[in-house]
Amino acid sequence: MTRLSLLLAASLLTLNAHALELAKYPQVFNAGKGISVTVAPSSDGKQALIQVNGINHPLDDVVLLSNINERGNDELDYTTTLNGSAYNLLLKRQGWGGENYQMYLPSTDGFALSFDEAKSKAAKPDTLLALYEQQMKKGIQDKLSRFDREQRVADFSARLQQIDQDASKVCGSEMTTQVDWSAIDDDKLKRLSVPSFCGEVVSQMANLCESSADFKAQAKQLKTVQCSFAAQLKLRESNDGLLFTTHEEAPNQGDFINAFLRNR
């Protein structure tokens, strides 16, 4: 999503909020461990206020305005703007047992939600709307929606570290993915999941370690992966590691990496 698109989306959310009319009956969900999620849809079903309570997280108690995007088959994405990017905060999906809801907060693995009928009946949409407007006046939502490069890099670094740790455990040797963050501009940090691109090498190494004892022995020689974005997809060896250049439009990157590792 471009900067202009983000600005327009954020502006649209703000403008629509001033004329927001909520439906009579909100929904309250239980996520376990004392965590609850309140969803108050607008009367036209195009937007919803969402509030999470009971979790040690920057979004705790904050009321966020989301756009409701239909995916077909009665599946929905509840999308807001966080840290400069469109973010799917809540997902409604259809499964074998019927509909299910999944909540995703930044830097968490997500939460499966179960409908709480008693709390839903007790919830008051007008109270939630009033709190949203109070927080808006304080600039709370605006601060959360603005792009914070330092925070984005910290979040991505933590995700990459977790991918490295998981792969290291499978392969029985330490692996580290290194990224020159200064070489990645703000636009890419907003649009792309850098860990998904740069973490693919050690992920493929983990797959091979699981299936091949021979490769597991070879993996001990490949301790580092230096990842960068470039015009072409490339992977080559260097000293005790690998140099990986990725491109956001290059297809089948996992297959390319896997083939290189198997035939090195």
**Same domain? 119 vs 198:** no
**Same domain? 86 vs 211:** no
**Same domain? 42 vs 140:** yes
**Same domain? 131 vs 185:** no
**Same domain? 137 vs 207:** no
Tokens of 32: 């376990």
Instruction: Look at strands 98-103 and 85-95 and give their pairing.
Output: antiparallel
pLDDT at 10 over 80: no
**Same domain? 10 vs 137:** yes
Q: What is the pLDDT of residue 13?
A: 52
pLDDT at 35 over 50: yes
140 by Cβ neighbours in 10 Å (0-12 / 13-18 / 19+) ranks as middle
Q: What is the pLDDT of residue 53?
A: 97
Condensed to tens digits (0 to 9), the pLDDT of residues 132-151 reads: 999 999 999 999 999 999 99
Condensed to tens digits (0 to 9), the pLDDT of residues 91-138 reads: 999 988 889 999 999 888 899 999 999 999 999 999 999 999 999 999
Distance CA 195, CA 232 (A): 18
**Same domain? 91 vs 216:** no
- Which of 145, 166, 190 is at the close of a domain? 145
Which residue segment(s) compose the domain that 157 sits in?
149-263
**Same domain? 139 vs 259:** no
**Same domain? 159 vs 250:** yes
pLDDT at 29 over 80: yes
Q: HSE-up of 157 (CA within 13 Å, CB side)?
A: 11
Condensed to tens digits (0 to 9), the pLDDT of residues 225-238 reads: 999 999 999 999 99
Q: What is the pLDDT of residue 198?
A: 98
The amino acid occupying position 209 is C
- As for how many domains the chain has, the answer is 2
Q: What is the pLDDT of residue 107?
A: 83
Provide the mean pLDDT of the chain: 92
Distance CA 73, CA 220 (A): 47
Condensed to tens digits (0 to 9), the pLDDT of residues 164-187 reads: 999 999 999 999 999 999 999 999
Q: What is the pLDDT of residue 18?
A: 54
Distance CA 117, CA 121 (A): 6
- Which of 85, 119, 145 is at the close of a domain? 145
Instruction: Look at strands 241-246 and 224-229 and give their pairing.
Output: parallel
- Which of 145, 179, 198 is at the close of a domain? 145
Distance CA 136, CA 11 (A): 13
* Partners of residue 66 on adjacent β-strands: 48
**Same domain? 51 vs 118:** yes
**Same domain? 73 vs 135:** yes
Q: What is the pLDDT of residue 6?
A: 47
**Same domain? 14 vs 125:** yes
Give me the sheet containing 241-246, strands edge to edge.
176-179, 224-229, 241-246, 234-238
Cβ-count burial 145-171 (b if 16+ within 10 Å, e if not): bebeeeebbebbeebbeebbeebbebb
Condensed to tens digits (0 to 9), the pLDDT of residues 40-70 reads: 999 999 999 999 999 999 999 999 999 999 9
Tokens of 242: 């690998």
